[in-house]
Amino acid sequence: MDIIKDVASDVTKPGIRRRGEVTGVVRRRRWRVEQKGQIVAEAIAPGAVVVEVARRHDLAPGQLWGWIRAAKHGDFALPGDETAFVPVVAGDTAVVPAVTVSAIEIIIGAMMVRIPAKVDAQTLETVLRAVKRT
């Protein structure tokens, strides 16, 4: 694809016509996943303006929005998204009292849902999906 530079500066003058001039060749750039992640992180930072970030990195704003969408879907990770695993250390179990649960309570605003503790997974999933829809 060629870059076209506008040569005519004023189209209001009689006798001046617009014409395009080929000034170079545009090549597709390949972005590494790490680069995409850094640019997306910069674009979604508090106070950032996506169009300005795109302009700084010589991107089309639509392309950057596509990368943001892809990052939200988990197609690539943002810097600082690394998952850290913490070792589990077994302690003295005699110190922890035994807890018995008779029901699971879910409170959202003024709504409360109480589910028996010994409910099967399918029923619990159905209840949680119904709560999520409301």
What pLDDT digit, counting tens, does each position of 59-113 carry?
999 999 999 988 888 787 777 755 455 667 776 666 666 667 788 887 777 778 8
- In this predicted structure, what is the pLDDT of residue 116? 83
Neighbours of 24 (CB within 10 A): 9
Domain count, the chain: 2
- Would you place residue 129 in the very low, low, confident or very high pLDDT band (cuts 50, 70, 90)? confident
- In this predicted structure, what is the pLDDT of residue 119? 84
The one-letter amino acid code at 42 reads E
The answer to whether residue 53 sits within a structural domain is: yes
Domain end (from 32, 55, 72): 72
Quote the domain boundaries for residue 124. 103-133
Predicted structure pTM score: 0.43
Domain end (from 51, 72, 93): 72
The answer to whether residue 77 sits within a structural domain is: no
- In this predicted structure, what is the pLDDT of residue 12? 58
The model's pLDDT over 14-51, given as tens digits with 9 standing for 90+, comes to 666 666 666 666 667 888 888 998 999 899 888 999 99
Closest CA to 61 of 34, 43, 38, 41: 43
The answer to whether residue 28 sits within a structural domain is: yes
- The average pLDDT across 112-131 equals 82
